[in-house]
Amino acid sequence: MTTLDQLVRQVRQQLLGYSMNQESVSELSAPMTATDTSFSCDAGTVLNLSRGIVEIDDELILVKTYDAQSGVVTVMGLGNGRGYEGTTAASHAVNSLVTSNPAFPKARIKAAINETIRSLYPTLVVFGSTEITKLAPVIEYELPSEVEGVWYVTGQLIGPSKVAQPLPNWRYNPKAREGNFPSGKSIQLLDYVTAGQAMKIVYSKAPAALVSGSDDFTLTGYPERYTDLVVYGACKRLVPALESARLQLQSVETTERAPLVPPASATKVAQLYASLFAERLEEERARQFDEVPNYATFQGS
């Protein structure tokens, strides 16, 4: 199964290549806490760092100076340099990699992954279900608060057939009176069902975000096969940052780089990822209706 950390690595490999990126790195020679204003790196590789931003795990830190002999690195602005650019100051274990000026910080990649996951809804939905026992005088029943829409409803027939028939006549109420339905969601079931029989409501809901690096992708509610779709979507969001960075280059450097990396190259790459994303999204949209047909799209005979 694919975890959030593995998704981050897949996105980085797409954006930076498998071997072409040569980021300068060192490693912690001692653990550090979330409040440390200096930290120790391997003295043999601390020269790979420079004043500016370094990344340790998901945190960005602003470096002031480093001592080439001892490997001690001082944080700019003391505590103000920890959790830089909206990241979170955290503890880091010995031997954690220290990356100088990362092209795509992990925190930004994780944000792009979760933005992509959220954007898949409602084109691709996560399914949930609940069962309700028919009560003779009742036609409106409470639904879970996570319900965003009803996909289909079935009702159990009496007798030994074990057949659940479609119940096409229902009305979903996303603004139900909370005095009667605490979740604020309800459904009116207007077809006849024998009292005491089970009625199954299959509904759609939004996907869950991935928080921890060890979170499995399927915690979103989506199947494992969506991972490449999410990688394409994250790359589509991140690649334009490379084009923006060109605007900060001095004109002489821009002129020198232009023959090798023409202007708008990143824009073209973003368009490629957008095309790959759209193609996979359409494939999964069609497959979703095949795997979980509802009675609005399936008229069996």
- For residue range 81-127, list pLDDT tens digits in order: 999 999 999 999 999 999 999 989 999 999 999 999 999 999 999 99
Work out the pLDDT band at 258, boundaries 50, 70, 90.
low
Contact yes or no for 143/201 (Cβ under 8 A): yes
Residue 286 has pLDDT above 70, yes or no: yes
Residue 194 backbone phi and psi in degrees, to 5: -60, 135
Segment 189-193 mean pLDDT: 92
Residue, of 106 and 259, whose pLDDT is higher:
106
What local confidence, expressed as pLDDT, does residue 248 receive? 58
Which pLDDT does position 30 carry in this prediction? Answer: 96
- Percent of all residues in the chain with a pLDDT value above 70, rounded to a whole number: 90
Q: In this predicted structure, what is the pLDDT of residue 78?
A: 82
Is residue 250 scored above 70 in pLDDT? no
Residue 137 scores a pLDDT above 60: yes
Q: Percent of the chain scored above 90 by pLDDT?
A: 73
| CB proximity list for 26: less than 8 A, separation 6 or greater | 41, 42, 45, 46, 48, 49, 97, 98, 100
* Residue that the structure tokens 């959030």 belong to: 4
This prediction's pTM: 0.86
Q: What's the pLDDT score for residue 1?
A: 86
Q: Which two tokens stand for residue 260?
A: 């090798």
pLDDT for 19 equals: 65
Task: Average the pLDDT over each of 25-34, 148-157, 260-269 and give the range with the smallest value.
Answer: 260-269
* Structure-model confidence comparison of residues 171 and 259, the more confident one: 171
pLDDT for residue 298: 47
Q: Using CA atoms, how far apart are residues 154 and 164, in angstroms rounded to an integer?
A: 6
